[in-house]
Structure 1
Amino acid sequence: MHDRCLKAWVTGRVQGVGFRAATRDQALTAGVTGYARNLPDGRVEVLLCGESSAVDRVVRWLWQGPPASRVTHVECEQAEDPPPGTFELG
């Protein structure tokens, strides 16, 4: 069941540092589906769908990221995207 879908754009040193894979691990642990994909402008776009508390937990983690990353900004908005059945990397 997906209570909520949220799209986030993560800015900083977030490409080439394992950010997407670590985001997938956090999402799967929280029971959240969605995706994480690199954008041409250097950001990572993340879709998170799941129970509100689980989505919020992953969003809080996005501000931290994996050890090699350096997150400077996370912008979020509600998403109308259909929730995927798993968490995908793109």
Structure 2
Amino acid sequence: MAGRRREVRAHVYGNVQGVGFRLWARGEATSLGLAGWVCNEADGSVTAQIAGRDEAVSTMIERLWKGPTGASVSRVDVEELAAGSVPVGFRIIA
């Protein structure tokens, strides 16, 4: 159904740290009108929690597979979440 809200947590693996992935993800998410956050993980992956219109969330997941210039994504695991209280905007968590 058009306009349905969706919330996911995506774990992105590969060469995704040290290439501006979090800054790039924030820009992409903001341009799509999404809310949530993105952070680096100790294992070298990046995790993002993304919420918004179903179509925009799906587009963001597709974009995560590419990432910014310099990134090499090997895997994106997506976990569907129950609708929760997501902060307004999209932020980078250190």
TM-score, structure 1 normalization: 0.94
Asked whether the equivalents of residues 2 and 83 of structure 1 are also in contact (C-alpha less than 8 Å), the reply is no
Q: Cα RMSD over matched residues?
A: 1.4
Deviations 1:28-82 (A, max 9, x none): 0000011110000110000110000000000000000001100000000112342
Aligned residue for 1:83? 86
Decide whether aligned partners of structure 1 residues 86 and 17 sit closer, same or farther in structure 2, where only a CA change above 3 A counts: same
SS at match of 2:69: coil
Q: How do residues 1-90 of structure 1 correspond to structure 2 at under 5 angstroms?
A: 3-80=5-82, 81-90=84-93
Aligned residues: 90
SS at match of 1:56: helix
Letter in 2 for 1:88: R
Asked whether the equivalents of residues 36 and 47 of structure 1 are also in contact (C-alpha less than 8 Å), the reply is yes
Calculate percent identity across the aligned residue pairs.
34
